[in-house]
Structure 1
């Protein structure tokens, strides 16, 4: 079976590619930047240049492909908009997959996407779900919440460096999941008949609020967080202002997602039946506690080693005396 993975250089996509390769699949990755994808070649994947925004590049990439796993999404720094990548690009990918005779299509969406029609990314995810379901493809939709990997930059590093930790509005509890565990479900979906033409939540073992994450990081790091609360109304005002400028459209759409994580409504879902369908053991799923504990243990150990090296006296080279005789003298 040949897999085409979209977004394979991203936080989730690289774990999907790694898992697929380890399980013996022939993996092809569609990438925009070949240099950034060098590690995929080293792993054993085939790398092809392409872009969801350029439909003509998808045809060749899909040739001979059995299944597609789409882990791509627009990024805040991209010059293109969320709509161009996450809607128009996905529509092109789905239509080209139908034309290429792709047998399976795995798509990542977001938990409770239908509840936030005013948030561009959530609305686009829901519309893509509907479009995929009506396309005729044999699909599986996995609805995610948040990634544990994002906790490091949002909480871990600022706390270690005594930088502000930003908290907005009423913190929504989020069931964070390690991307390695998400990848298990994605690859497993290819083998499970019960997953065909179905939608499943794929979330972590429990939901955590921002305050709970901060308290855990403080305990594990031994440092106190500098919490800065940003009023949601201020963000709404900023979003409306930058919406007047074309360069701010993408940032504005991203800020709209703050409405989700500051609503106080949890991003979570029951997982008991999902584990049964996929035949996976919930006890093997990483928890936020173990993930952050491993991170802080590793970082604090490294910091101690660096401090040790700083206090070690440097070996002084013996000074040569200008009066010392040589053998030739």
Structure 2
């Protein structure tokens, strides 16, 4: 299995996976909306311009591929009644994959979406993610699904607001922060070691567990680019702001889930097969 189509290669989590697969020697095709950005990032890789909102584009990109890697997401600004890459987009991808007899679908899910249904929590974004997993498993295509804990990159790209690290509510459970680079190496390894007809679910977790406030404290201590401090917001304030902004509504729900999901260590079998992570939160902060 050498030819892999990547959908979602230029984003925060797609880039390291694409780089890791290139390093591992796979022959990649990238389906992208912006060829300029993709060419700048991956100048020697085959790039096809298209959109998963267009089934013909998907079919063009998927021709001759052995496998497909999906890095899809629900953006913070999306609304429930709009087109969703993980909803209608995934439907089209699976239909084409079945038609072209794709051998494997690999998909980035999340660990925290399993909070859906706990403590009466119900969010349309997590419903889409749950449905996506079931659609893939019911498609008849061999699958690999990755369930990562929170990424270290979320601190710098989402929580960091100017010179502050924004926190909301109380983090009740520690989470195993993982670096995207470690996750990417595990994705590449999975394509090397899994048997042709082997379906697998992999929990992706890092070396150390932190509550969000402790993670922010550790990051600030070792981040050398500028002096940072934490900023805390009560959940009720975030909930009120969410009534006026789709982005804040997303933030309220994801922070509530992250604060309350009872994460436990489940990645040993992943480490045994795909390799143990090597990047600590201290390493990550110092590298920026």
TM-score bin, normalised by smaller chain: 0.7 to 0.9
By how many angstroms is 1:274 displaced?
A: 1.6
Which contiguous aligned blocks of 4+ residues in structure 1 show a shift greater than 4 angstroms?
A: 77-83, 221-225, 248-251
By how many angstroms is 1:127 displaced?
A: 1.1
Q: How many pairs does the alignment contain?
A: 280
Structure 1 residues 83 and 268: alpha-carbon distance in aligned structure 2, compared to 1, 3 A threshold: farther
Q: Secondary structure at the match of 1:207?
A: strand
1:141-220 superposed matches below 5 A: 141-154=145-158, 163-171=163-171, 172-193=173-194, 196-220=198-222
Give yes or no for the alignment of 1:262 onto 2:259. yes
Structure 1 residues 83 and 267: alpha-carbon distance in aligned structure 2, compared to 1, 3 A threshold: farther
By how many angstroms is 1:254 displaced?
A: 5.0
Contact 1:168 1:232 in 2 (8 A): yes
CA RMSD in angstroms comes to 2.6
Tell me which residue corresponds to 1:12. Answer: 13
Q: Secondary structure at the match of 1:200?
A: strand
Structure 1 residues 214 and 292: alpha-carbon distance in aligned structure 2, compared to 1, 3 A threshold: same
Larger Rg: 1
Contact 2:35 2:47 in 1 (8 A): yes
TM-score when normalising by structure 2: 0.86
Q: Secondary structure at the match of 2:210?
A: coil
Structure 2: gaps of 5 or more residues: none
Tell me which residue corresponds to 1:320. Answer: none
Contact 1:82 1:250 in 2 (8 A): no
Tell me which residue corresponds to 1:127. Answer: 131
Tell me which residue corresponds to 2:283. Answer: 290
Structure 1: gaps of 5 or more residues: 243-247, 296-329
Tell me which residue corresponds to 1:318. Answer: none
Q: Distance in 2 between matches of 1:2 and 1:134?
A: 23
By how many angstroms is 1:59 displaced?
A: 0.8
Structure 1 residues 77 and 39: alpha-carbon distance in aligned structure 2, compared to 1, 3 A threshold: farther
Contact 2:176 2:209 in 1 (8 A): yes
Contact 2:165 2:228 in 1 (8 A): yes
